[in-house]
């Protein structure tokens, strides 16, 4: 049996993989880890091997739709699919009036297009094990919108519309994380950090481990009756408002 993940070397992806690797329920499952960065993928595979986990790398840039078919074929022939996490995402910070066509295309391909093709391939191949489960990692801005993140918010929001199209036998949910602590935030000034988190009960971004816990729950046996749901990983944002 295999588990497939895109964006595996990223902040959320790597945290989720480590969380699953520590769970005995995933023992014996082979992990197919996809991402753009060969060096980061190799490091993650080495880390997995050191923990006794079977893992292999799949170098894949989701912004290149021409590469999707071979990747999907590799997943289909790797073995029965027990689970997956489509974590990869790309953002373009600009308003709709300034957004270039190439940025639109990239955002839709990485954040939504591959996900749709992947679900389509599962429907055709039928290589799911009983009680297969998967998550699509969206974003809180996909459900609420955000000025200046037009393409990202629209593409991530479209993931919610894929839930009714889950293949028969697949338990599928969308995980909606907030802004997660990452190297991208390292250069924020103190003033910018205060403005960014002014309406939150915590004073900083959520650790990636909190999203990993939510993802592991949705992928675990304990969420057996959770299906076709938008799972908010941060109730602070939804409870306190957006402005």
Confidence class for position 237, pLDDT limits 50, 70, 90: low
Which domain, by its residues, includes 42? 2-240
Q: Which residues contact 3 (CB under 8 A, 6 or more apart)?
A: 20, 26, 29, 30, 31, 32, 81, 82, 83, 84, 85
**How many folded domains does the chain comprise?**
1
Q: How far is CA 3 from CA 9, 81, 88, 115, 236, in A?
A: 15, 6, 15, 15, 31
The answer, as to whether pTM is greater than 0.85, is yes
Q: What SS3 state is found at 135?
A: strand
Confidence class for position 181, pLDDT limits 50, 70, 90: confident
Share of the chain above pLDDT 70, in %: 84
Phi first, then psi: give them for residue 134, nearest 5 degrees. -155, 160
Note the maximum CA span of the chain: 52
Pair of tokens at residue 49: 């091997």
Least confident of 81-90, 205-214, 228-237: 228-237
Q: Which residues contact 192 (CB under 8 A, 6 or more apart)?
A: none
Choice between 141 and 7, residue whose per-residue pLDDT is larger: 7
Least confident of 149-153, 196-200, 225-229: 196-200
Domain with residue 162: its CATH number is 3.40.50.720
pLDDT of residue 183: 63
């Amino acid at each position: 049996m295999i588990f497939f993940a895109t964006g595996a070397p990223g902040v959320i992806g790597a945290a989720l993989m480590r969380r699953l690797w520590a769970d005995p329920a995933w023992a014996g499952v082979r992990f197919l880890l996809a991402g753009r960065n060969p060096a980061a993928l190799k490091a993650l595979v080495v880390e997995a091997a050191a923990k006794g986990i079977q893992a292999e790398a799949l170098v894949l840039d989701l912004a290149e739709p021409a590469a999707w078919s071979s990747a999907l074929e590799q997943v289909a022939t790797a073995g029965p699919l027990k689970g997956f996490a489509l974590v990869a995402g790309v953002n373009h910070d600009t308003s709709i009036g300034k957004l270039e066509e190439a940025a639109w295309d990239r955002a839709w391909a990485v954040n939504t297009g591959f996900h749709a093709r992947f679900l389509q391939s599962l429907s055709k191949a039928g290589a799911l094990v009983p009680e297969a489960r998967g998550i699509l990692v969206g974003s809180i801005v996909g459900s609420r919108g955000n000025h200046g993140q037009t393409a990202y918010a629209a593409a991530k929001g479209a993931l919610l519309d894929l839930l009714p199209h889950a293949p028969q036998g697949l338990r599928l949910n969308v995980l909606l994380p907030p802004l997660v602590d990452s190297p991208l935030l390292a250069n924020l000034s103190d003033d910018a950090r205060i403005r960014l988190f002014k309406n939150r009960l915590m004073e900083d971004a959520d650790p990636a481990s909190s999203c990993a816990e939510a993802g592991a729950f949705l992928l675990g046996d304990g969420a057996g009756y959770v299906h076709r749901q938008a799972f908010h990983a941060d109730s602070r944002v939804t409870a306190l408002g957006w402005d």
